Amino acid sequence: MATAKRSPPFRAEHVGSLLRPQELVQKRYDVAAGKASTADLELLEDKTIADIVKLQKDAGFHVVSSGEYARHMFWGTFFEELNGMKELQLGILKGYDAGMFRDYAPDVKSFMESKEIPNAVTVCVAKISHPGHSSYQREVDIMKKLVPENEWKNIKITLISPSWYHFRYRTGRSYPKEVYANDEEYFEDVAKAYQEELKFLHSQGIRNIQIDDPNLAYFCSEAMLEGWAADKDNDKTPDEMFDAYVKFYNKCFERPADMHLGIHLCRGNYVGSRHFSEGAYDNIAKKLFQDLNVDTYYLEYDTPRAGGFEPLAHLPKNKNVVLGVVTSKFPELENKDEMISRVKQAAEFVAKGNGQSHEDALQQLCVSPQCGFASHAEGNSLGYEDMRKKLQLVRAIADAVWPGQP
């Protein structure tokens, strides 16, 4: 039998965000409205994070997160607290025009069609640099108090993707022309900020980072690609832009050798369990798996909108894929045996691509829900107990496929 894995990724994984108790959601809104203090909110965060860590451990998970309870939205405050970035009031562009957005970017398109301004408007106004502290310090401190020091390496901290405030804006609109002459200059400073953040988190004992990235999956969307082709402002083809992002990400992800870094390709996870994009990984798989400098890929595979497992044939032997075959969007429980069968089917494509045995291929795979349960404050269309059952199902699938492995 294979040696039990004792560091990320684990056989039973999840994607970071977990359903928030309603009282926590309401308290954050009360603070914003001036009806409660930040101190009141932090006391409640402390309590509810302790509860959600216990839930994860009781469900048999070795990876633990704060559930992102100390945040309002999944992307947190990394960009918002960088020097040179400015967060505008939600829904108010203040001198900016709606034409700055790629209206064919799947999430932006959805908001535009519903007459909503994109849910965060943060723009570059000056040279970007790391502020010298982490906006996730409080989250890290809380988690380190809740688990023993020998488990700090298993704490999962999620960061937003480097292209979050680049892809949604049209070419040349991500930064003022007097600040950055081109994408390369902008990317260079953002990359330095990510490197500093990873070094800081490493100094705090954190060894498990997950990048939440909707943007790379958008290059699988035919609707997005058609919109890109029609946009005369673009100075790169989609393939050229994807290549530029991979190079950019690799610079951002320079990290200490003992830090595990994974990336979650998200198809959208908005209020009401909405998704934004569809399309198989085939278009990007080879570059994604072979050129991007990450250890693990958290991939959505809960519905046919993500295509089949065939692209996994491009996975190198030294990397892992966490198969998101259990949906976090709806309460109905998947059939355990069918999910076990799907995991084994995925291993067949990994084995074929690498010319290795089915058993060896299985060692590169793990299982999880396809996305977080609450990327945004209100969460998906299921209840707290539904989430618990989903996590227990993931653990049961992992135990059946990889008995004795965490």
Instruction: For 343, list phi and psi in degrees, rounded to 5.
Output: -60, -45
| Packed helices 222-230 and 238-252: angle between N→C axes, nearest 10 degrees | 110
Instruction: Give the Å distances, CA to CA, from 18 to 65, 279, 297, 328.
Output: 9, 26, 19, 9
Tokens of 269: 């996870």
Report the alpha-carbon distance of residue 355 to residue 364 in Å, rounded. 14
Measuring CA to CA, which residue among 357, 350, 343, 352 is closest to residue 405? 343
Report the alpha-carbon distance of residue 402 to residue 406 in Å, rounded. 8
* Kind of pairing between the strands at 83-87 and 122-129: antiparallel
Neighbours of 201 (CB within 10 A): 23
Tokens of 281: 């990984």
CB 164 within 8 A of CB 266: no
**272: which residues sit within 8 A by CB, 6+ positions away?**
381
3-state secondary structure the chain: CCCCCCCCCCCECCCCCCCCCHHHHHHHHHHHCCCCCHHHHHHHHHHHHHHHHHHHHHCCCCCECCCCCCCCECCCCCHHHCEEEEECCCCCCCCCCHHHECCCCHHHHHHHHCCCCCCCCEEEEEEEECCCCCCCHHHHHHHHHHCCHHHHHHEEEEEECCCHHHHCECCCCCCCCCCCCCHHHHHHHHHHHHHHHHHHHHHCCCCEEEEEECHHHHCCCHHHHHHHHHCCCCCCCHHHHHHHHHHHHHHHCCCCCCCEEEEEECCCCECCCECCCCCCHHHCHHHHHHHCCCCEEEEECCCHHHCCCHHHHHCCCCCEEEEEEECCCCCCCCCHHHHHHHHHHHHHHHHHHHCCCHHHHHCCEEEEECCCCCCECCCCCCCHHHHHHHHHHHHHHHHHHCCCCC
Q: Is the pTM of this model over 0.75?
A: yes
Return the pLDDT at 2: 45
Domain parsing of the chain, residue ranges: 22-401
Return the pLDDT at 292: 98
* First and final C-alpha spacing in the chain: 14
Reading the chain (406 residues) residue by residue, the pLDDT tens digits are 344 556 899 999 999 999 999 999 999 999 999 999 999 999 999 999 999 999 999 999 999 999 999 998 889 999 999 999 998 764 545 555 667 889 888 777 666 665 555 556 789 999 999 999 999 999 999 999 999 999 999 999 999 999 999 999 999 999 999 999 999 999 999 999 999 999 999 999 999 999 999 999 999 999 999 999 999 999 999 999 999 999 999 999 999 999 999 999 987 655 554 445 567 899 999 999 999 999 999 999 987 767 899 999 999 999 999 999 999 988 999 999 999 999 999 999 999 999 999 999 999 999 999 999 998 888 888 999 999 999 999 999 999 999 999 9
CATH number of this structure's domain 22-401? 3.20.20.210
Report the alpha-carbon distance of residue 153 to residue 7 in Å, rounded. 8
- Opening angle at CA 103, ends 226 and 378, nearest 5: 115
Report the alpha-carbon distance of residue 56 to residue 67 in Å, rounded. 10
